[in-house]
A and B are shown apart, each in its own frame.
Chain A
Amino acid sequence: SLVLTQTPSVSVAPGKTASLTCGGDNIGSKSVHWYQHKPGQAPLLVIYYNSDRPSGIPDRISGSKSGNTATLTISRIEAGDEADYYCQVWDYNADIVIFGGGTKLTVL
């Protein structure tokens, strides 16, 4: 079954850009969604359909996909961006939801 692979941790200085990747066989044919998860809070949808932003999500956060790799890019990093980020795919043919292992973003 589909496995989504994320880099476990990424560290970025304030004001810089973070690129978080999510790879998996055949995700090129599926929509990838991204969540920001801070301790003690519910996960927050930040990107859906690979690159769309829900209302209220700043345009510093963007998503893209090329082949079998999806990328979440956060520019002009702020301390408040420190969180775990998860990618997610819905395999509607198999009726299975898959999450990546998550990337812990640390702001230096």
Chain B
Amino acid sequence: QVQLQESGPGLVKSSQTLSLTCSVSGGSIRSGDYYWTWIRQPPGRGLEWIGYIFYSGSTYYNPSLKSRLTISIDTSRSQFSLKLSSVTVADTAVYRCARLLAFCGGECGYFQYWGQGALVTVSS
């Protein structure tokens, strides 16, 4: 069973950089079938796709966050990470990592496995 687990500071000061790591177990992060994804949910609001990374290191970002965002991957540790710079209180959210099935011989594009989520609060 694939498991994803987020880790990182739960409190970040405004203007600083939010950093989170997702640890993957039960499946290979080196698989060419998946995009490793970050998704967030601000309090009382819906899900927002942040971006995803392929095992090769290719990244694709939400245009609204692209200028502040870096997603990286460490296949040797079976982890991928998120860095969001210059945060404001609007970046307060539950951040989740998830696995997107991207290559399946047809049109794929859904998330079967998710982490439990990490609440990150940005203080002013």
Q: Please determine whether A31 and B109 come into contact, CB atoms closer than 8 angstroms.
A: yes
B15-59: which have CB < 8 Å to A? 37, 39, 46-49, 52
Assembled-state Cα–Cα distance A83/B119 (Å):
20
Cross-chain contact of A99 among B48, B100, B102, B114 (Cβ < 8 A): B48
A-B contact number at CB 8 A? 65
Residue-by-residue, is A32-57 near B (CB-CB < 8 Å gives 1, otherwise 0)?
Answer: 01010100011101001100001000
Interface size on B, residues (CB 8 A): 23
Question: What residues of chain B lie closer than 8 Å to A41, measured between beta carbons?
Answer: 116
Question: What residues of chain A lie closer than 8 Å to B108, measured between beta carbons?
Answer: 31, 90
Min CB distance B3 to A, Å, is 10
Question: What residues of chain A lie closer than 8 Å to B115, measured between beta carbons?
Answer: 42
Instruction: From known contacts A42-B96, A42-B116, infer whether A99 and B109 are also in contact, taking CB-CB under 8 Å.
Output: no
